[in-house]
Structure 1
């Protein structure tokens, strides 16, 4: 089969608010009643892949041990990542969150947000990374941003771009700019075909409109208070590639064709979970992709893994080592097997935990590594 993800289509859901046009490839795993909607089934499918011919037989813990890392433990906490929920105006083919317009239940409420802020106050974390879904669709998004800015934190908004075109989001670029919020935007490619293949027909055109609005609000002009970062995921089963030449190519392509400027490009490996895992299985690519990840393991990435300087908080207040573990329902574990919740936040106990790992972790350690901030090395 082709190594491109299934092309998506533009549709509109009548059960949404009038301004919530949806770009969708297919229903979410949950809405479509896929067996992979169960994160434990995802873990089982990954465990069933035959990796006996790879180093350490594809066992991540043994691979760490082979490189003098007996356990993976956290370092200094720098980033508080808050996932506001799974509601999104898009259902992208590669989404590891399985977000979409039907995920209306899984959204963080005000009391949980306040608990996150109380926990944040107990740490020295300098950055609050707000993600989703489309985090902007959470009714308490602006409250959270204002509270974090008031605390002197650097705030990151992980934005799908098209959400900025919704009528009730029209002022958001200027609103975020006034608060110095860094915007990290998903854009699979600077050409239409690469983006629409992964994110849905019509997505590229809408993304370009949103980027132009961000530029008009002062983003992407080199101002450290108006940082605009683009994120690309490979289409198919290739590993992420990012270097100064590729970034220059992107900057030239967007500026020459659309007059768009941005500050930085980061590239992430596709994680073999959720909807991307579904595609890997349907295309018969799972075995080859997992072998590629394991064989590309780079020990130089371990020290810089995001799970070592980040805590990930789910919409319901549970605490995870990273966003990927969150989607696989692999909760962080304090000493004595306790599973922490944000309302019972204890920074000292969390600092003593051992980070939970699995087969999917090879996605972060392959090649130059992959984290929410891009390549690790």
Structure 2
């Protein structure tokens, strides 16, 4: 499957995606603008509570083309962060007490300077999270030593696994993905990841495979742990549930399946003020592959940069100005505030 970008699909245009999102307002008065919902619950303007995470998208290149991908990543994407831009990120990090750097993509490991970046973050004494799709570990011999590399630098590995069954996983991520993911998980377990007392954290991420919200994170974690251990001998630390946001390829699915308005109504009906107060954009700064600054990874993929009163590029990083900014919101933000909430760290309430 090609990316929307490679297909020249209308939804590859972020302006068109935002138009689709705004049309929900026009098609029914019951669909309230997200900003108005925040105002009603006393949260507008939404502002940072203090940066604790720097999330860096090091490129859109990926060895997979998943049906739900909000990045529209794939083998045909060539956007990649340069070492010069990485150094600007490191320079900014050194000015702060931000203690977690979250590396994402695409498959971040495919960036030729990925290992150098991890080493530099470790040298600064900060925690690195890598958003690993698992199959990259077994995709090519040059990646087979990634578990050892991760362990050597104390990397926290966060990996997507849509389900504990092959059918559900392969339907979302491609034929054979489940089997390759299990092989990668076993390789990670062999060096200590997910093993009690090892200090090496391995977390899995669950995204629903259809137009519905994730179930209880606690209940799903229990079921995943039981099934993966019993059937595959695999262990992990935590399961993180993430709601699919109505952007990019998941938006394409919603429109093609006729589920778009129904899904939006479901998200809006499940709006939770407590989840809204704890959204990840309040404590995270998102950096694009070209160094542009965003409130979150989802805003980044919709090309909605930080408030224009704040620095726009990592070269102009100013922590005080960024902490004073108003966070940019749009209709897709309902995905992070529905039910138990959703963030890159899983449920928020």
TM-score, normalised relative to structure 2 = 0.97
User: How far is 1:96 from its partner?
Assistant: 0.2
Match of 1:333 in 2: 307
Q: How does 1:123-138 map to 2 (within 5 A)?
A: 123-138=96-111
Structure 1 unaligned blocks of 5 or more? 1-25
Match of 1:366 in 2: 338
Match of 1:17 in 2: none
Of the candidates 105, 110, 113, which is equivalent to residue 140 of structure 1?
A: 113
Query: What is the root-mean-square deviation of aligned Cα atoms in Å?
Result: 1.1
Structure 2 unaligned blocks of 5 or more? none
User: How far is 1:225 from its partner?
Assistant: 3.0
User: How far is 1:249 from its partner?
Assistant: 1.1
Whether the 8 Å CA contact 2:292–2:314 is kept in 1: the answer is: yes
CA distance in structure 1 between the aligned counterparts of 2:198 and 2:217, rounded to whole angstroms: 21
CA distance in structure 1 between the aligned counterparts of 2:342 and 2:168, rounded to whole angstroms: 20
Is residue 2:137 matched to residue 1:161? no
Is residue 2:91 matched to residue 1:115? no
Q: Secondary structure at the match of 1:360?
A: helix
Match of 1:208 in 2: 182
Of the candidates 12, 31, 40, which is equivalent to residue 15 of structure 2?
A: 40
Q: Secondary structure at the match of 1:230?
A: strand
Match of 2:291 in 1: 317
Is residue 2:256 matched to residue 1:282? yes
Q: Which moved more, 1:118-127 or 1:215-224?
A: 215-224
Q: Secondary structure at the match of 1:206?
A: helix
CA distance in structure 2 between the aligned counterparts of 1:243 and 1:124, rounded to whole angstroms: 30
From the two aligned structures, give the one with the greater helix fraction.
2
Match of 2:213 in 1: 239
Runs of 4+ in 1 over 6 A off after TM superposition: none
* Residues paired across the two proteins, number: 347
Of the candidates 146, 157, 166, which is equivalent to residue 183 of structure 1?
A: 157
Deviations 1:305-333 (A, max 9, x none): 10000000000000000000000000002
TM-score, normalised relative to structure 1 = 0.90
User: How far is 1:354 from its partner?
Assistant: 0.3
CA distance in structure 2 between the aligned counterparts of 1:186 and 1:242, rounded to whole angstroms: 17
User: How far is 1:334 from its partner?
Assistant: 4.4
